[in-house]
Structures are given as structure tokens and as C-alpha cells.
């Protein structure tokens, strides 16, 4: 059953109706060729799914009748990835896979080795559309936010409110990710954030910035991961550690 996101304000609970227009309506009508009586899942982006029936099709607009509703369980650990902007279309891959795995938000960051000086509004809009498409495909209850990009210095300040913060760093030799996680009960932490460098990694100067901010630098083992692999790998470990990959969780 296809899934789409709508604004909570568009849901008419009194009449049990949800209008769908724009690109989503066009996709349903032209690509999926839905007919009256077909079922569609609509999410309000706030963890409520509505099982709906197509009630009316009018040009480029659909009217859906709400049949039932249900809560969508999102990860209890809200994870933010501060991702240094990489080359080419790697950011699109990072967004897609991390949304599928349960990320809460992604903040693009400018670093010394990042290849992009500034990000255009069109690029950010595209990244947000990729996040929405991945949220639909993976049946998420929210669309993870792709934030406005910021400098590394600003992102370090921005991360201060999280329950757990760390920065994987390829030259770290003493503290591992396991060491950090073993000292925390992730079910009690509530929120976590971590930093991933671009293709060239963090510079020595940037690595020192983490120390000055009391953000632990951690090793991910003896192998050096690509920037488009590292964030997804760390996120998967976090999801596993807090029980999000257990299918028995309700």
C-alpha cells in the first residue's frame, strides 16, 4: 500500500476526509492509476498513519476517506548526524540510507576538507525531497529534518543539548565507540549526536576543536570508512544498541 505525507492541518477529522494534491496526487493518478475504492496510507508526519480509501478523483486532486488510524513507532533514541558535505551525490545516498535506518535529523556542515563552499537553496530542497521519499519507502512516522548547513564551529555549539555526543576520528587510538556506548544506557539518554568528516576527514585543527568542547573522539576500528559509509554504520550501531532492530519491540 503506497504511503504519503500530509500536513496535520489538511486532515479533516470531523468529516473523516483528507485531500491530496500536487505531486503526490499526480503520482497516485498518473503513475499508480488509483481508482475509487483503492486504499492509500497517509501520515501526518507526527507518527499517526491513516488507512484511507480513495473517495473521489477530480483532475489533479484526490479526496480520501479515513477508515482507521494507528500510531507509528519511531526510535526512542533521537539521533542527529552532523555530516560534513561530501563530493558529488554522496550526500543524497547518506540521507536516503540514514532516513531508512531511523535518523531523526541531519545537519550538513562546512569543514576545511568539504568541497562545497556554500549550499544553494535548490540543493537543500532536493535533499529534503530525498528525505521525504526515503521516509515514505521505509514507512517512517516522521520526515527527518535536513537542516540548514552550518560551520563546524557552530555545529559543535549546536550539539551541546544532546544526551550523548561524540566524533568518530580516524586518528583516535585510545577511545573506541564501544567504550563510549558502554558508559551509557541509550534507553535513558533520549538523544544523541555524532560528527562525520568529509572525504579528507577532520583536520588536526578541527579534531582539537572536539577536545576543547569536551566531545569525545572515538575510533571505529582499524579500517577507514568512506564518508558515505561511516554515518550509516554508526547509526546502525546506535539503533542496535538501543534495541531498535529488535522486531519484537512494540
Mapped onto helix, strand or coil, the DSSP state of residue 148 is coil
Radius of gyration of the chain from its Cα atoms, rounded to whole angstroms: 20
197-225: burial string, b at 16+ Cβ within 10 Å, e else? bbeebbeeebbebbeeeebbbbbbeeeeb
- How far is Cα 36 from Cα 195, in angstroms, rounded to an integer? 48
Give, for all 250 residues of the chain, the pLDDT tens digit: 679 999 999 999 999 999 999 999 999 999 899 999 999 999 999 999 999 999 999 878 999 999 999 999 999 999 999 999 998 889 999 999 999 999 999 999 999 988 666 788 899 999 999 999 999 999 999 999 999 999 999 999 999 999 999 999 999 989 999 999 998 888 889 999 999 999 989 999 999 999 999 999 999 998 889 999 999 999 999 999 999 888 655 5
- Please enumerate in sequence order all residues whose Cβ is within 8 A of that of 204, keeping only pairs 6 or more positions apart, or say none: none
Q: How many residues appear in the chain?
A: 250
Domains, the chain, in order of start with CATH, read: 3-71 (2.40.240.20), 78-241 (3.40.1280.10)
Burial of residue 161, with CB atoms counted within 10 A of its CB: 0-12 exposed, 13-18 middle, 19 or more buried? exposed
The total of other beta-carbon atoms located within 10 Å of residue 228's CB is 20
Amino acid at each position: 500500500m503506497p504511503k504519503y505525507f500530509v500536513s496535520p492541518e489538511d486532515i479533516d477529522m470531523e468529516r473523516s476526509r483528507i485531500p491530496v494534491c500536487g505531486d503526490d496526487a499526480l503520482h497516485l493518478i498518473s503513475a499508480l492509476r488509483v481508482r475509487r475504492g483503492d486504499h492509500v496510507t497517509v501520515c501526518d508526519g507526527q507518527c499517526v498513519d491513516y488507512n484511507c480509501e480513495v473517495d473521489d478523483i477530480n483532475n489533479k486532486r484526490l479526496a480520501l476517506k479515513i477508515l482507521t488510524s494507528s500510531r507509528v513507532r519511531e526510535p526512542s533514541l533521537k539521533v542527529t548526524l552532523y555530516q560534513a558535505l561530501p563530493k558529488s551525490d554522496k550526500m543524497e545516498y547518506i540521507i536516503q540510507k540514514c532516513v531508512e535506518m531511523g535518523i531523526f535529523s541531519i545537519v550538513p556542515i562546512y569543514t576545511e576538507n568539504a568541497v562545497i563552499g556554500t549550499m544553494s537553496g535548490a540543493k537543500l530542497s532536493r535533499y529534503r525531497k530525498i528525505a521525504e521519499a526515503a521516509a515514505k519507502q521505509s514507512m517512517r512516522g516522521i520526515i527527518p529534518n535536513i537542516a540548514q548547513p552550518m560551520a563546524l564551529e557552530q555545529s559543535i555549539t549546536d550539539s551541546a543539548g544532546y544526551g550523548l555526543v561524540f566524533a568518530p576520528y580516524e586518528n583516535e587510538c585510545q577511545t573506541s565507540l564501544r567504550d563510549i556506548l558502554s558508559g551509557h544506557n541509550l534507553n535513558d539518554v533520549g538523544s544523541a549526536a555524532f560528527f562525520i568528516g568529509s572525504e579528507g576527514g577532520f583536520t588536526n585543527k578541527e579534531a582539537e576543536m572536539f577536545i576543547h568542547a569536551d566531545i569525545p573522539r572515538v575510533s571505529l576500528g582499524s579500517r577507514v570508512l568512506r564518508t558515505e559509509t561511516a554515518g550509516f554504520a554508526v547509526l546502525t550501531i546506535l539503533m542496535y544498541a538501543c534495541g531498535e532492530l529488535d522486531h519484537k519491540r512494540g
